């Protein structure tokens, strides 16, 4: 699957393992692994069929967004680049390009700044 990043900070960090390690610390290795797995899938439908670490739909900013576990607290937010709709599951097979939106702490105490990297 093709991956793009929603910000220059994301792409600069996640495309450079050394920068990723510096920015994310212990979260770097599982994040890079998750990105490699995402690239290996042909479509978003394959990701959901695999069931690998519980991908799930979340409410996005006008677009369909999925959340994919990196570890117990952190999720990779992936924008599908299409508006949410009732028949979204029928479209999953055709989505072969996604946009990484950020890495979010879903269980952290800092609700004002939930993104670790955005």
Q: Give the model confidence (pLDDT) of 11-36 as tens digits.
A: 999 999 999 999 999 999 999 999 99
pTM: 0.88
> Is 39 in contact with 3 (CB distance < 8 Å)?
yes
Determine the pLDDT at residue 117: 78
pLDDT value for 67: 92
pLDDT at position 58 is 86
What pLDDT does 84 receive? 79
| pLDDT for res 106 | 81
2-108 placed in CATH 3.40.50.800: no
**E strands, 1-96, where?**
2-5, 56-58, 65-69, 74-79
Task: Return the DSSP state at 7.
Answer: S
What was the pLDDT predicted at 82? 87
How high is the pLDDT of residue 114? 63
Could you tell me if residue 53 is left (phi over 0), alpha (psi between -120 and 50 degrees) or otherwise beta?
Answer: left
The domains of the chain are located at 2-108
Give the residues of the chain that fall short of pLDDT 50: none
């Amino acid at each position: 699957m093709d991956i793009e990043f929603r910000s220059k900070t994301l792409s600069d960090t996640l495309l450079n393992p050394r920068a990723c390690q510096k920015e994310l610390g212990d979260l770097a290795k599982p994040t890079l692994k998750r990105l490699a797995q995402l690239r290996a899938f042909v479509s978003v439908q394959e990701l959901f069929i695999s069931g690998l670490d519980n991908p799930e739909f979340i409410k996005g900013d006008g677009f369909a967004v999925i959340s994919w576990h990196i570890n117990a607290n952190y999720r990779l937010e992936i924008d599908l680049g299409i508006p949410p709709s009732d028949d979204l599951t029928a479209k999953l097979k055709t989505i072969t390009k996604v946009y990484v939106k950020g890495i979010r702490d879903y269980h952290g105490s800092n609700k004002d700044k939930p993104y670790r990297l955005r």
